[in-house]
Copies of this chain bind each other. A is one copy, B any other.
């Protein structure tokens, strides 16, 4: 008799923790991901801003799971889920059958019905996108150095980040640091320290999940780093030349999208109700209503009171695995309970905000906490060491180790 099969779709934090939670389960686990690596997404903005190399924040999934002998890793893209037949369909039309399914396919960039903006304002969800943003940012300074026309030069030296959530704040703060410190003195015709970094946010404060007092502290830290923060401004258009905000217009050759994500489309075929963000409204045990053999974890799962952050995805992944183990033993599944360890957002050098229950921190103490937490959580020792060296180096020298544009001028 063959072992019951578990398919895990997606190997982000939710999927990887689900796989590891099944390491002693009497089951054949198959992990399917579109890429060959697990990505430490909280540091993706560092790859986009040339502080870290791509391999420093990623590890091959099959290397992580090498010793877990009940796990098979497949590089592939799940295009469909057919709950009635209990199989998934891959991009080459092959099907893979399951007894249990964990859907951990996460979220994707969302342009609120303006997909035509995407080519001019890349988002930051994958390594490819991070390297695209890195090339755009570095190339913009290069183009400015070659540009004779003052207005065009100024557009090359204007960087707009749309969206004042954690990603937008990190990107804007780091871009200002690059312009003011890293590139200082390296150009002969333009002054990179006069580059303009504008963070545009539609609501009346940055970092909405934090308290209004911390949001204000974050805004002040951003301004101190050299970021211009525009609150309460709605983007109404993005094109090759800049950003429209109602009647206003910002001439900018580099625009980054950090304003919205939506759920992976793989929530739809599950037949369960979705919330407005496209997330699957799961049962308290994280299973899909009517399908006790399917679990949804991470950003794709809508669980009241649980934010879309890495620690929540890990906890859900681990919990879904435990429920599968209980189900295999014919035991009742258990309700998921989120444990909130607090929230941290970095803004730039020595600048961050943190919230641990009622305790609020900002500035250097919050930044130090963020630094230690992220080094600690980086998945394997090698990466941790490489990241520490990269960071120590760039902290002291303001230099950034990954300032490599991989494509020539387009």
Residues of A within 8 A of B (CB): 34-37, 53-56, 58, 60, 62-63, 66, 72-77, 91, 94, 127-128, 131, 138-139, 142-143, 145-146, 185-189, 382, 385-386, 389-390, 393, 399, 401-409
Residues B63 and A128 in contact, CB atoms below 8 Å apart: no
| CB nearest neighbor in B for A90 | B146
A36-B405, A382-B401 given; 18 more Cβ-contact pairs under 8 Å: A37-B403, A37-B405, A53-B53, A53-B56, A55-B403, A60-B186, A63-B399, A66-B186, A74-B145, A74-B146, A75-B139, A75-B142, A75-B409, A76-B409, A77-B409, A127-B404, A131-B406, A386-B389
Residues A55 and B402 in contact, CB atoms below 8 Å apart: yes
Residues A37 and B75 in contact, CB atoms below 8 Å apart: no
CB contact between A54 and one of B36, B53, B72, B188 (< 8 Å): that residue: B53
Indicate whether A76 sits within 8 Å of B146 (C-beta atoms), given known contacts A53-B53, A53-B56, A55-B53.
yes
- Shortest beta-carbon distance from A233 to chain B in Å: 33
| CB nearest neighbor in B for A146 | B74
- On chain B, the residues within 8 Å of A139 by CB distance are 36, 75
- Shortest beta-carbon distance from A235 to chain B in Å: 29
Indicate whether A408 sits within 8 Å of B77 (C-beta atoms), given known contacts A36-B142, A55-B401, A382-B401.
yes
- Shortest beta-carbon distance from A273 to chain B in Å: 30
Residues B409 and A60 in contact, CB atoms below 8 Å apart: no
Residues A55 and B404 in contact, CB atoms below 8 Å apart: yes
Indicate whether A408 sits within 8 Å of B35 (C-beta atoms), given known contacts A75-B139, A76-B146, A386-B386.
yes
Complex-state Cα separation, A128 to B55, whole angstroms = 15
